[in-house]
Structure 1
């Protein structure tokens, strides 16, 4: 007797589009990465539009043309950003936040509540105000998903790993890490053969550091990343609870933007002294963020013995050590490239794909 295998019902077609906020270095890298994936035949949601603080542009047939148009648009003096009054997002869409805007981050919970997925490199969502971070968690209960792997480690599986450990019943006691690719690059290159300020200029010009390098040197970027990791571990830290030791001397901190370059030399003497002290003690300078459930949280420059798990690595590598019930005697260490527009764009689109293929 022959048997007939019933046909499975066809899967419903996927709906939803992707929209990009931010057309700077990272946003441009997202567009290029999206194009590469499409050429390789990777299934991606259609691109609806992209926007910056000046204009919203329909994606059309050529994303490169659209982003060039957005980047060349004149500055807008309107009180409402173009993405808030232009073509709106709908349930099932995915918005990519490639900005560093507090205003955009403030919309993350609202989008999630409306069923719009959010993928972000913007650390001011989960790494800003605690109430906002909690609102993002609550809003996801409505079914929309939040992809934030690009906010720490430029896509290293650090955040996902911590969340999986917690979901599996492990308790995180502490996490410490070299979390700034910019500072990792600077400190791995510095050997007292040239002034530290020269390296800062080189990092800025190469795109490893922000145009105003004080943003990296102040430690504020690492503070935000540490907040994201702590909150993912179940520790509801506020920003004020993290002690930050900035590398920025007063003269540089107070300089007008146009005077920053001339004041970078104020970094040289303090860094040289700390480097020589570390060198004499067989140690390596690393800019480390650490939270400890019992001892608090801090960010700053440390001289680590060469045997320390964070003292290895080169270039822009991020390195993080996780101490938990499961990893108490020897930490779980995650290491890999942690800076650059291309790795950040890849992390953003990885999150887009995870959301898109899980629908």
Structure 2
């Protein structure tokens, strides 16, 4: 079974390495904005980091904005410059003092004072020459403070100024000189100390400070991963993952749990607010996985970027960029067009039609480049909207749907990207929020992915799996359901990329591995789907004890297992409350009556405002068969063994004759009807003589003829009154007094319960509306097909309810 790795916990007392693979954790400015945020980050580091990991930090909160403001004031000679510098210093000093003990805080504030003095010196000289040096202080202060806090509270730590090792070619390309940078980093790191590195800043070959652009700390993190060949990079930010559109303007955007590398790179290039164009470049030749998670909700699964199977490749998203220019010129055709597109990193282009799309600030440089070629150019203000997904260009249906979604927009050009991961529409006006929401809806309305885990591969479980391929292909509500887990009491097969439903049982036999509940719950807690449904086809009380953990994770349950629905009252109420709190759906229509819709009938009556007063009937297919066929000529014990040989009874028929199964079913229905009671409140007649109840199964079979006299007497007494015998469950309420019992009764031959087909169940419901003429549901109450079909019915019902559900987008300090 797949499972998430156990994170090492760092402490001053125990700093042994629990694992060896290096991981990089990057924390953005909003994640480090204030004392509370930093405290939260320290907790994340304790839980998720080991000593040889690397932590990359951005400047705290709005510090970079404040530094840009100081820079602007310095360049303009504004009189408020000193006040701005003082405010910046005070905010940093306050943050330091709130997190460190007095002596440590005093040391950092003393260094801060020296930094401020350096500010003033540069301003007096020529601030334009030291612009990047000034901007670098935000990350430097953040790394210095984080390292000090970790040293005080968690583990040995050392901060490193990235300018001590990270060398790039220039600020335009920001291409890393990897051999040199890798060698210098190796000298900077110290064993047995957690490394904290400044994001955003670097140096060039001449030793001058260079920045990696706004939001460049993400790029810093992936550069670090490439330098140390990290197994994983986590970008801790203020959003709990990457969404199918900007969640700040598209409320119904959905989280993309897994993204192929190429798709993520294209999203970053085309304006995704979380990913940035250069972030994925350093990982191109590495097997490193990238995760995006929220430091404000670190328990919530984020987005993983890497190499995945077909399910992850089905994701679609919509992104946009405004304030662009569409430039047309003869120089943008053929090879020269390719050259221009590369030179200006065009957002999109077409060398046959002779245009490229660039940012507005590139207009002057592009005009100068064209002047060298002595050609004319026309510029049109433009914006782009793109549908992005794995090889979407190759899917004609997606392309047609995208064009239909923009039929009312004034589209200048449609372009298919060279990498085939995006369909781009170029428009002559900025993309509006209304248009973005409409297009997003059209492109992603059917895109929710639901993972399906089937527990129990016995007779019914195997039939459920056999029926699954046809169901997935023919039922629209199941279009995006993927079988991802098969579980028995001893083994499990879990595959995030999906299990082939046509060969699921064979794959289980070949690849299933032993597991325990902790491993199983760990995988469920980190599943990469919009929703997860567990179908419980086990008879296991132990497995039913996992329901609460399922509900706490927001997982939905379809159950044929009776144990949870008939659990002790307090436990049952707790399950209902937990499911409601976490918006988990729990359907158990096959716990009673197999595929018969008795549960639907009860729910419908209650939802319509009716009041149920009585539920009665024959709830056991086994006992129904026995008493329909028992005529006194064949001994009851012979009939019982015949039913056993036909597979109509439990392996130990005393389970059927005890009435416990019927007792649980009556309790489930009574609770569904809105009444609070326990098994102990239902009187149950055990049809097994007391002397036969505790002996072994083999001894019971040897002594089973002892049943014959009792049942023959019961039958003869009934026949004397022109009646028959049936095992009846009855629940009623009168003047708030509840009566519930299960017993062998004598019934008139024309009674509704007296003439059933063998193995049939029958349910009679009386209510305020159905009083003198009760409502009756009758049909087969057992069997592979009807039970598996009932489970599929519940699965469809859950998926129909989930299709329009949207998860709350968690955004902090955006």
Alignment correspondent of 1:64 = 505
Alignment correspondent of 1:84 = 520
Alignment correspondent of 2:739 = 296
User: Are the structure 2 counterparts of residues 191 and 225 from structure 1 closer, same or farther at C-alpha, using a change threshold of 3 Å?
Assistant: same
Q: Which has the higher contact order (CA 8 A, sep 6+)?
A: 1
RMSD between aligned residues? 2.4
- Structure 1 residue 252 and structure 2 residue 692: aligned? yes
Q: TM-score w.r.t. structure 1 length?
A: 0.90
Separation (CA, whole Å) in 2 of partners of 1:41 and 1:348: 14
Q: CA deviation at 1:82?
A: 7.7
Alignment correspondent of 1:332 = 775
Alignment correspondent of 1:218 = 658
Q: CA deviation at 1:87?
A: 3.6
Structure 2 gap segments, 5+ residues each: 1-406, 410-437, 804-814
Separation (CA, whole Å) in 1 of partners of 2:473 and 2:650: 31
- Within the candidate set 464, 471, 476, 1:37 is matched to 471
- Structure 1 residue 51 and structure 2 residue 492: aligned? no
Displaced runs of 4 or more, over 6 A = 3-8
CA contact (8 A) 1:227 1:237 kept: yes
Q: TM-score w.r.t. structure 2 length?
A: 0.41
- Structure 1 residue 16 and structure 2 residue 456: aligned? no
- Structure 1 residue 318 and structure 2 residue 761: aligned? yes
Matches within 5 A, 1:333-352: 333-352=776-795
CA contact (8 A) 1:51 1:82 kept: no
Separation (CA, whole Å) in 2 of partners of 1:325 and 1:213: 38
CA contact (8 A) 1:51 1:83 kept: no
Q: CA deviation at 1:287?
A: 0.9
Separation (CA, whole Å) in 1 of partners of 2:681 and 2:447: 47
CA contact (8 A) 2:624 2:760 kept: yes
Separation (CA, whole Å) in 2 of partners of 1:267 and 1:334: 31
Separation (CA, whole Å) in 2 of partners of 1:149 and 1:348: 8
- Structure 1 residue 94 and structure 2 residue 533: aligned? yes
Deviates more, 1:165-174 or 1:131-140: 131-140
User: Are the structure 2 counterparts of residues 39 and 206 from structure 1 closer, same or farther at C-alpha, using a change threshold of 3 Å?
Assistant: farther
Q: CA deviation at 1:128?
A: 2.1
User: Are the structure 2 counterparts of residues 85 and 320 from structure 1 closer, same or farther at C-alpha, using a change threshold of 3 Å?
Assistant: closer
Separation (CA, whole Å) in 2 of partners of 1:274 and 1:342: 34
Matches within 5 A, 1:72-221: 80-81=516-517, 84=520, 87-88=523-524, 90=527, 92-141=531-580, 142-221=582-661
Separation (CA, whole Å) in 2 of partners of 1:185 and 1:252: 22
Separation (CA, whole Å) in 2 of partners of 1:27 and 1:260: 29
Separation (CA, whole Å) in 1 of partners of 2:576 and 2:455: 21
Deviates more, 1:123-132 or 1:59-68: 59-68
SS state at 1:169 partner:
coil
Separation (CA, whole Å) in 1 of partners of 2:767 and 2:491: 47
CA contact (8 A) 1:242 1:298 kept: yes
CA contact (8 A) 2:449 2:482 kept: no
Q: CA deviation at 1:12?
A: 4.1
**Matched pairs, number:** 352
Alignment correspondent of 2:345 = none
Deviation digits for residues 85-128 of structure 1 (CA, Å, limit 9, x no counterpart):
67425461110111111121122232123211100000111112
Q: CA deviation at 1:260?
A: 2.5
Q: CA deviation at 1:54?
A: 0.9
Separation (CA, whole Å) in 1 of partners of 2:769 and 2:651: 41
User: Are the structure 2 counterparts of residues 243 and 170 from structure 1 closer, same or farther at C-alpha, using a change threshold of 3 Å?
Assistant: same
User: Are the structure 2 counterparts of residues 163 and 181 from structure 1 closer, same or farther at C-alpha, using a change threshold of 3 Å?
Assistant: same
* Structure number with bigger Rg: 2
User: Are the structure 2 counterparts of residues 30 and 100 from structure 1 closer, same or farther at C-alpha, using a change threshold of 3 Å?
Assistant: same
Separation (CA, whole Å) in 1 of partners of 2:560 and 2:508: 18
User: Are the structure 2 counterparts of residues 95 and 123 from structure 1 closer, same or farther at C-alpha, using a change threshold of 3 Å?
Assistant: same
User: Are the structure 2 counterparts of residues 53 and 290 from structure 1 closer, same or farther at C-alpha, using a change threshold of 3 Å?
Assistant: same
Deviation digits for residues 163-187 of structure 1 (CA, Å, limit 9, x no counterpart):
2211222111111110011110111
